[in-house]
């Protein structure tokens, strides 16, 4: 009798989990390569591996990719979990009620990245020198982030024009040729700078502190803690499972790690940097 009751209880719990609506997981990466359609097969593989790692039935995680800020905002209007780069998080955390839980470890980059300001050689020696320039960056959709990311000593003047641009090579060439532009590079772009044939015509003006490249967040109160807990365990376990590791590789990630207190404090300090 006890065995029958235990089996009935287990079946009831399994049925209840299956009856839960799928968790919608949206990855938003403004300015980075790939369209929603191109990314979907990789996102489907990620969703399947994550559901399995969380101990959920197939189809209990639905994942998609938003390649622009506008698309991301539209999709996050209904999503429960988001994976977003730091500039997006700092710009939209408050209005969208995003709560950071995990740091993303990107392939070839690690869990943190350093942002780098680059200008024509001899053109910029102090923050005030940037006031007459336009700063081009993949993070240009978040102007406050661009102005603050280099830290208090290198906070850019509010008068500094900021423009979003994914054409990094073109932007760097314009700076090297003496146009009125500077370029803020993310971690991967900064690492590639020295390989450019015109790198000698550019100055690395300032670096940021190491900062998380991207974060996994919950959106508002759409995902109860009881459902987030197994999903978080699944995310942390993905690299240890063959299908999980393959799914992560398909979206150029290595894994996830908890966002510790020091990391969150650094992010909060950047968000409230004085203007």
How many angstroms separate the Cα of 64 from the Cα of each of 83, 107, 252? 10, 19, 15
Structure confidence at residue 4 (pLDDT): 47
Structure confidence at residue 172 (pLDDT): 98
Structure confidence at residue 19 (pLDDT): 64
Structure confidence at residue 153 (pLDDT): 93
Residue 95 DSSP code: H
Q: H helices then E strands: how many in the chain?
A: 10, 13
Buried b (16+ CB within 10 A) or exposed e, 178-191: eeebbbbbbbbbbe
How many angstroms separate the Cα of 157 from the Cα of each of 147, 179, 274? 7, 19, 11
User: For tokens 């406050």, what's the residue?
Assistant: 144
pLDDT in tens, the chain (275 residues): 454 444 444 444 444 445 689 999 999 999 888 899 999 999 999 999 999 999 999 999 999 999 999 999 999 999 999 999 999 999 999 999 999 999 999 988 889 999 999 999 999 999 999 998 999 999 999 999 999 999 999 999 988 999 999 999 999 999 999 999 999 999 999 999 999 999 999 999 999 999 999 999 999 999 999 999 999 999 999 999 999 999 999 999 999 999 988 888 888 888 766 55
**Tokens representing residue 142 in the block:** 């978040």
| Phi, psi (deg, nearest 5) at residue 174 | -60, -45
How many other β-carbons are positioned within 10 Å of the β-carbon of residue 192?
14
Alpha helices in the chain, H assignment, sequence order: 2-19, 36-53, 69-76, 86-96, 143-148, 168-176, 187-192, 225-237, 242-250, 261-271
**Tokens representing residue 212 in the block:** 């998380």
Domains of the chain: 20-110+212-271 (3.40.190.10), 115-208 (3.40.190.10)
**Tokens representing residue 146 in the block:** 């661009």
* CA-CA-CA-CA dihedral for 42, 45, 46, 52, to nearest 10: 180
The answer to whether the beta carbons of residues 89 and 51 sit under 8 Å apart is: no
Question: What is d(CA 246, CA 149) in angstroms, rounded to the nearest whole number?
Answer: 33
Sign of CA dihedral 207, 108, 33, 223: negative
Most distant pair of Cα atoms in the chain: their distance: 83
Structure confidence at residue 15 (pLDDT): 47
pTM here?
0.90
**Tokens representing residue 144 in the block:** 């406050």
Question: What is d(CA 51, CA 102) in angstroms, rounded to the nearest whole number?
Answer: 17
**Tokens representing residue 223 in the block:** 């995902």
């Amino acid at each position: 009798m006890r065995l029958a009751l235990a089996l009935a209880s287990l079946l009831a719990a399994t049925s209840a989990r299956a009856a839960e609506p799928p968790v919608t997981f949206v990855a938003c990466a403004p300015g980075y390569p790939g369209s929603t359609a191109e990314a979907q097969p990789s996102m489907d593989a990620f969703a399947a591996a994550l559901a399995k790692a969380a101990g959920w039935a197939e189809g209990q995680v639905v994942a998609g990719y938003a390649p622009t800020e506008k698309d991301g905002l539209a999709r996050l209007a209904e999503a429960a979990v988001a994976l977003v780069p730091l500039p997006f998080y700092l710009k939209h955390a408050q209005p969208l009620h995003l709560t950071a839980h995990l740091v993303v470890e990107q392939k070839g980059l690690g869990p943190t990245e350093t942002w780098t300001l680059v200008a024509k050689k001899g053109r910029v020696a102090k923050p005030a020198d940037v006031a007459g320039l336009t700063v081009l960056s993949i993070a240009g959709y978040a102007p406050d982030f661009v102005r603050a990311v280099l830290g208090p000593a290198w906070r850019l003047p509010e008068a500094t024009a900021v423009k979003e641009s994914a054409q990094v090579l073109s932007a760097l060439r314009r700076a090297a040729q003496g146009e009125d532009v500077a370029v803020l590079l993310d971690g991967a772009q900064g690492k590639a700078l020295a390989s450019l044939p015109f790198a000698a015509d550019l100055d690395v003006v300032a670096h940021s502190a190491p900062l998380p490249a991207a974060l996994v967040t919950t959106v508002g109160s759409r995902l109860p803690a009881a459902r987030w807990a197994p999903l978080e365990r699944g995310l942390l376990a993905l690299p240890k499972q063959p299908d999980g590791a393959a799914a992560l590789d398909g979206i150029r990630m290595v894994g996830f790690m908890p966002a510790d207190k020091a990391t969150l404090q650094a992010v909060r300090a950047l968000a409230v940097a004085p203007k």
